[in-house]
Amino acid sequence: MNFRLCSTLLLLMTAACRTSTGPGGLVREGTPSQVNIVHAREKGLAQAFTWEEYGPEAFARARREGRYVLIDGAAEWCHWCHVMDETTYRDAEVGRILHERFVTIRVDVDSRPDLAERWSDYGWPATILLSPEAEEIGKYRGYLPADRFLELLRSVEALAREKQEAATTLPVDVPATPGMLPWAAASALQRMDATYDEREGSWGAFQKVPIGENLELEVRRAARGDRQARERVVFTLAHQRPIHDPVWGGVYQYSAARHWNAQHYEKLMGQQAPNVEAYARAWALTKDDAVLAEARAIARYMETFLGAPDGTFYTNQDADVGSHDRSIPFVDGHVYYAKDEAGRRALGLPWVDTHVYSRENGLAISALLALHEVTGDPELLARARKAADVLLTSHVREEGKVWREASHRSGSRYLGDAAALGRALALLAQRTGEARYREAALQMGARLVKDFAAPEGGALYEATPDADAVGVFARRDRPFAQNVGAARFLAALHTLTGEAAWRDRGREVLAGISTPHRIAAQGRLIGEYLLAADELGVIPWPSPSR
């Protein structure tokens, strides 16, 4: 998940929501002309180049023809990706240069979590420039207007030379040993505390984000008697209510300001599920009925808008109407979500990404189980089981191999999918006592340890090997977030079986990413790391505050 959109235009979009109406749709009054999708469409500009699929054919053509490569890392739900599509990529000069000199590749980052992890600090959209040999030249964050974009395209040779000249051997970032994890966890806990916003609640001040994992970690501290943690939980829950959709439920992606009232209205499963878990456990701590109502409202949104007919879950929902179909009037999310139920439905529904991915479904199942645990509601358990049963037949194959989608039977598999779905099944086995869930979770755990392991042990690779990978993509990464998820899965297997080997391997995985640099790089988004550390028993909890 990425919240670091760089454009200062975000700040221009935080004014009171007045509507500007045109024949092509609705946007908020005061939207700058250069990023107004309705105005852009009225110009009738065409895109002068063609996107190619990410794959060996595109990279082979770049090398054969000596073309530079431009990769657009875009999310289908991303408002600023839509803006760049309708403005920058339809600029005539941009189109000419791309057509003549580049191989242009569009990547849906939700479909490729391995690539998303590489670029998460640079988007979305993320613009990646590569040499004809697929080596990185530059990475650029967020929306780029045509004039800035043209500067980059015209200077690509100079950028390539600068990159080559600046190439140096980076200092080795030595990972921790399992025995050092208490120190690493204590350091991460201090960093999380340092980012807490005393004025608005939650963590971080430049943008306000509903970080479910941080909130759940704070609930765990409060349950151990930490009074300050309890105060933070209560304060955060009260102050971040504007990030909840009061009509349909669910949490918006973030607020683009220091307060909670500059919402960006995308709804991502990667945020819905952790907030259900956090709110469920916060209610168990506080017994505030409003908190339980909010947890149920998020779960209701997941079912109503992201629930698939077969019982699985879809991935995300866009903020805007008409962003994926130019025959439909475009409606800005700021205009749309200010309306009531009838007003929204009269304008249509924002697009939903109907891919059924293993990771997102694993998160959803775990969230429903957490809400069931604190409420005892049998319908929540039944809903979690229904999704799990379908996924076991559609996404899991060959003794625990987890595929991102049901249709995938070849190519790479991803650590994040195996970790999230595996953990969900381990939790389901704990909750139900059913042997079939237990056996599936154990098979998936064994397969994860085998297929994603590096020769020297420690942290796991992001994906299984890709025989077609070239250039920078042939060098396999061991990403932070996915390894945290794997550590939580292994911790859940330890709890399920009592076997120390699962816990010990989880500690090795977590230690492999526990360098000072990598922990610091997470900034405020460190809560899930600490949840993993807690579940593996390595946090040196301080004495409760008095």
pLDDT tens track of the chain, all 546 residues? 444 443 334 433 433 334 545 556 888 888 898 889 998 999 999 999 999 999 999 999 999 999 999 999 999 999 999 999 999 999 999 999 999 999 999 999 999 999 988 887 756 899 999 999 999 999 998 999 999 999 999 999 888 888 777 665 555 678 889 999 999 999 999 999 999 999 999 999 989 999 999 999 999 999 999 999 999 999 999 999 999 999 999 999 999 999 999 999 999 999 999 999 999 999 999 999 999 999 999 999 999 999 999 999 999 999 999 999 888 899 999 999 999 999 999 999 999 999 999 999 999 999 999 999 999 999 999 999 999 999 999 999 888 999 999 988 888 999 999 999 999 999 999 999 999 999 999 999 999 999 999 999 999 999 999 989 999 999 999 999 999 999 999 999 999 999 999 999 999 999 999 999 999 999 999 999 999 999 999 998 876 554
**CA distance linking residue 241 with residue 260, whole number of Å:** 8
Q: CA-to-CA distance for 28 and 33, rounded, in angstroms?
A: 11
β partners of residue 71: 105, 128
Local structure of 155: helix, strand or coil: coil
Backbone angles phi, psi at 25, to 5 degrees: 145, -160
At residue 71, what are phi and psi to the nearest 5 degrees? -110, 125
Q: Which amino acid is located at 230 in the chain? A: R
Alpha helices in 35-131 (DSSP H): 37-42, 56-65, 79-86, 92-101, 113-119
CATH architecture, range 9-166: 3-Layer(aba) Sandwich (3.40)
| Alpha carbon distance 480, 518 (integer Å) | 7
Residue 171 exposed, middle or buried by CB count within 10 Å (0-12, 13-18, 19+)? exposed
| Percent composition of the chain: helix, strand, coil (DSSP 3-state, to 5) | 50, 10, 35
Sketch the domain layout of the chain as residue ranges: 9-166
Which pLDDT score is estimated for 8? 36
Distance CA 414, CA 300 (A): 29
C-alpha 147/C-alpha 121 separation (Å) is: 23
- pLDDT value for 123: 63
3-state SS, residue 406: coil
Whether 352 contacts 316, CB under 8 Å: yes
Please tell me whether residue 23 adopts helix, strand or coil conformation: coil
Q: What is the model's pLDDT at position 15?
A: 36
Q: What is the largest CA-CA distance in the chain?
A: 69
The Cα–Cα gap between 464 and 476 comes to 9
Specify the DSSP class assigned to residue 361. Answer: H
Of 412, 406, 392, 307, the closest CA to residue 357 belongs to 406
pLDDT, residue 6, reads 37
Residue by residue, DSSP assigns 438-451 as: HHHHHHHHHHHHHH
pLDDT at 167: 62
